[in-house]
Amino acid sequence: MENNKTLPGDPTLPSSSEELQKLIAEEYGNFKYSVEDFFKKPDKTRYQLSKKGTHFSFMGPYKNRQNIFTQKIGTSDITQITFETDRDLAWYFWANNSRIIYGKDDGGNENFHLYAVNADGSDLIELTPFKGVRIDIIDTLEDFDDEIIIGMNKNNPQLFEPYRLNIINGKLTQLAENNNPVEPISEWMTDHDGKLRVAIKVQNGTNSVIMYRKTENEPFKEVLTTDFRVTLSPLFFEFDNGNIVYASSNLGRDKSAIVKFDLEAGKEYGAPLFEHEEVDVSQLSFSRKRKVLTSILYTTDLRHRHFLDAETESIYKRLKKSLGDYEIFVTSHNKAEDKFMVRTFSDRSLGAYYFYDKTKDELTKIVEVSPWIKEEDMSEMHPIKYTSRDGLTINGYLTLPKGKIPKNLPVVVNPHGGPWARDEWGYNPEIQLMASRGYAILQMNFRSSTGYGREFWEKGFKKWGDTMQNDITDGVNYLIEQGIANPKRIAIYGGSYGGYATLAGVTYTPDLYACAIDYVGVSNLFSFMKTIPPYWEPYLKMMYEMVGNPDEEKERMHKYSPVFHVDKIKAPLFVVQGANDPRVNIDEADQIVKALRNNGIEVPYLVKYNEGHGFGNQENQFEFYKAMIGFLGKYLS
């Protein structure tokens, strides 16, 4: 795209280069699967059941964009009900048996707007036609056909307020105010009748205050105040809608457990329902129809399910018997809870969708998600562990190229984004693409990754580029010591925080990597903290505690901002950015590219002006991953 001063970013920096175009042109070799094979959007995916179980819905391509289709069960008649052409729809759900709600943003800016359309494609309306406003779903109101409850920052970009929204005519009714930016409410929670009963506010920038009321006619009262490092996350009310909620809690413990919490007394009620010595537990499911708890999902190296209900356990056992050794998830069901959409997947397959009719005990395969990719051709994702230099156990995954002896291999190190997130076992097209080209891929859950308890999470506070980076470096050295990695053929690639870790890797360990790819990554901790989205502003003091305060810790933040140390960078670098990114401003990419080019170093730089925090449009993904593979091929061969 030509430079244009109205576009985001530095207009003096070209969005691509001759070098980049050469990389794209040189990508293809004699490979069984192309970039398009790995990143082509499925013809049918994200299946859901209507409320009465009479229709399927799914997403599929229309003019290279994911749109919504419906199909009456038992027929082959398919109806396309949306026709978006600029960007994929982000998500959708059935609001009642005949009406579907979906979300869509503009060019990746993450200001999602809501739309409603009938299952036959009629009566399409935009429910939230407000520019620059972001929408969250608070409650889909399963028992109310014509309404949902949403959160919206229409009155103040920093603050989300709850509204009851009529999905037929778009009428909005504000349910509560959130007008104190000093002590903003960050979460709202309803009971099983859709009544707004719990609110969580931020106090002094770093405390979390749980507030509760018996009825919507009463004011909220403060129940429990904790430092943000302590987690008490209400999940849902007990089925009598009284004063007890189920919650994920690490009160008085390192790992979060599933507990009951008494909102009147302000403390846990009884012993934990379930806890695990290695990992946090935060996901609890229930049956709305039968009013029973059903299962708890948690993740160690793999996902595990702890059953609380014999009927649910029998359904999964029945599915496992027919579907075999795959991850199995019920993705949706009808209100009667006797018809289910089932999804399978593994580390080598996007799996398939199945329809299970419990009353007939019939399991019917609906569609393979990516039938053009054969599972037997893909590479296995192996859970691994290694020890950091200061004695921490770091969990991760190693994907080895199929058919290669795991010795002296070229390696791509792939730190995850967040950083307050974690990698999990499963199919990843990026990983499989790189493995198909002969690379081993190392993913690791460095300190500050979530899911391993409070202590492990906190060990990464204010350690960007420091001990967090050491955990990544120690993983690389582990592969070298094991003889798996060729020390002269190691690359690092990551997105978001992983992009920062990429830049930190080639800055602070310049001899370790042969090349690097920074995807929507942070380069300057000062400018990053000053360009956060407005709805992150209430949590800025928390960010200061976790990342650093640019006004009070200038020396440390300067030390660990790669843009100020580009003279140390030796490895070739490829930078990729979405211009509309609300989380990592395009200025982060512009700065590192400009600094290197001012030093006389050419940097391939790919900018897309219709993307945000990561590329969503298929053609942009094709271009990026072709260039990535060309870049890796040039510098790791």
Q: Say if 441 falls within a structural domain.
A: yes
Peptide bond into 572 cis (omega under 30): no
Q: Say if 557 falls within a structural domain.
A: yes
pLDDT digit string (tens) for 441-462? 999 999 999 999 999 999 999 9
Domain boundary among 256, 281, 306: 281
**CA dihedral in degrees (536, 537, 542, 543; nearest 10)?**
70
- CATH number, position 424: 3.40.50.1820
Paired residues of 329 in beta bridges: 343
* Whole-prediction pTM: 0.95
Domain boundary among 246, 281, 316: 281
| pLDDT value for 1 | 34
One domain, residues 407 and 522: yes
| pLDDT value for 20 | 77
pLDDT digit string (tens) for 383-430? 999 999 999 999 999 999 999 999 999 999 999 999 999 999 999 999
| pLDDT value for 15 | 60
One domain, residues 491 and 621: yes
Write the CA distances from 230 to 136, 225, 468, integer angstroms. 24, 10, 21
- Look at residues 500, 502, 424 and name the one whose alpha carbon lies nearest to residue 490: 502
Q: Say if 623 falls within a structural domain.
A: yes
Domain boundary among 239, 254, 281: 281
pLDDT digit string (tens) for 290-340? 999 999 999 999 999 999 999 999 999 999 999 999 999 999 999 999 999
* pLDDT exceeds cutoff 60 at 345: yes
Sign of CA dihedral 197, 202, 203, 206: positive
| pLDDT value for 637 | 86
Q: How confident is the model at residue 553 (pLDDT cuts 50, 70, 90)?
A: very high
One domain, residues 401 and 258: no
Q: Say if 369 falls within a structural domain.
A: no
* pLDDT exceeds cutoff 50 at 512: yes
Give how many domains the chain has, as a whole number.
2
Kindly state the tokens that stand for 345. 């997947």
Q: Which domain holds residue 552?
A: 379-636
CA dist 175 and 135 (Å) reads 15
Q: Say if 457 falls within a structural domain.
A: yes
Kindly state the tokens that stand for 518. 């920074």
pLDDT digit string (tens) for 259-276? 999 999 999 999 999 999
Write the CA distances from 271 to 168, 238, 267, integer angstroms. 45, 16, 11
Q: Say if 175 falls within a structural domain.
A: no
Q: Say if 111 falls within a structural domain.
A: no
Q: How confident is the model at residue 601 (pLDDT cuts 50, 70, 90)?
A: confident
* pLDDT exceeds cutoff 80 at 486: yes
One domain, residues 391 and 243: no
Q: Say if 253 falls within a structural domain.
A: yes
Q: What is the mean pLDDT of the chain?
A: 95
One domain, residues 396 and 270: no
